Homo-oligomer: A and B are copies of this chain.
Amino acid sequence: MPVIKLKDISTKAPKEFNKEETKQKFAGMLEEFSELQNLLFASSTYSLLVVFQGMDASGKDGAIKNVFSSVNPQGVTVVSFKVPTEEELAHDFLWRVHEHSPAKGMIQVFNRSHYEDILVTRVHGWCNDETARKRMKAINDFEELLTEHGNTHIVKFYLHVSAEEQRQRLEERMQDPAKMWKYNEKDFIEAARYSEYHKVYEDCFEHCDKIPWTIVPSDQNWYKEYIMLKTILDVLKKLNMKYPGLKKT
């Protein structure tokens, strides 16, 4: 990926996109996704790993809910990577992640991921530049392992929200009783570091680009979810999967 500046990339849907039309299209795409996921499961040849990265309140949880709403839960698992446990810290940083890589036929969603080890950690100074470079190499090697040896297709999303939209959403969490459970006062402290986060994300896009990133304008949920689903469908369609015949015994 060429060097990119996040502040030059719009967080909003392009003018030509109409909300109602896009939502209608999205509904049809969900049906297609359901069929493709069934085929992925039945043929059990490939697996799909979908990585969700983005700042607090960029809409990861909502997107996971809506984009995967049509697929058989038996074929999809979601794991959220939180602050590492003591047992996890006693291993290399990819240990806890590898455990959750998808088996053939499965879709695995990572809500945050191994990328946190070169993002939040860098912003807080827990990971210096030298360590970050080494981790980036390890991440690239790891993704190559999954791709080359695990038949895994990896899709990486960065949910791109504006600072204004983010602040507004965080405030909603204080006011909307349905969203209060998500409120964490520390999120405001993190949000104040908006441009520092941009910096480490940009560095990550540049050095961990063997599997391409999709930067998703995320201020409007309808557009964000449409782009994500479209990206996933494009990957699945290219696999030209077929239903397997009768098993020989």
List CB contacts (< 8 Å) of A87-102 with chain B: 87, 90-95, 98-99, 101-102
Tell me the count of chain A residues lying within 8 A, CB to CB, of chain B: 29
Chain B's closest residue to A139 (CB) is: B145
Taking a contact as CB atoms under 8 Å apart, the answer to whether A150 and B91 are in contact is yes
Give chain B residues whose Cβ lies under 8 Å from the Cβ of A91: 101-104, 150
Q: With the chains together, A149 CA to B133 CA distance in Å?
A: 12
Digit string of A48-74 for contact with B (CB within 8 Å is 1, else 0)? Answer: 000000000000000000000000000
* Nearest CB in chain B: distance from A125 CB, A: 18
Taking a contact as CB atoms under 8 Å apart, the answer to whether A144 and B138 are in contact is yes
Taking a contact as CB atoms under 8 Å apart, the answer to whether B105 and A149 are in contact is no
Q: CB of A142 within 8 A of chain B?
A: yes
Taking a contact as CB atoms under 8 Å apart, the answer to whether A92 and B149 are in contact is yes
Q: CB of A146 within 8 A of chain B?
A: yes
Known contacts A44-B90, A138-B148, A142-B145; A101 and B105 CB within 8 A of each other? no
**Would you list 26 pairs from A and B whose C-beta atoms are within 8 A, ordered by A residue?**
A44-B90, A87-B103, A90-B103, A90-B104, A90-B105, A90-B106, A91-B101, A91-B102, A91-B103, A91-B104, A91-B150, A92-B101, A92-B145, A92-B146, A92-B148, A92-B150, A92-B152, A93-B149, A95-B99, A98-B98, A98-B99, A99-B99, A134-B149, A138-B144, A138-B148, A141-B142
Residues of A in contact with B (beta carbons under 8 Å apart): 44, 47, 87, 90-95, 98-99, 101-106, 134-135, 138, 141-142, 144-146, 148-150, 152
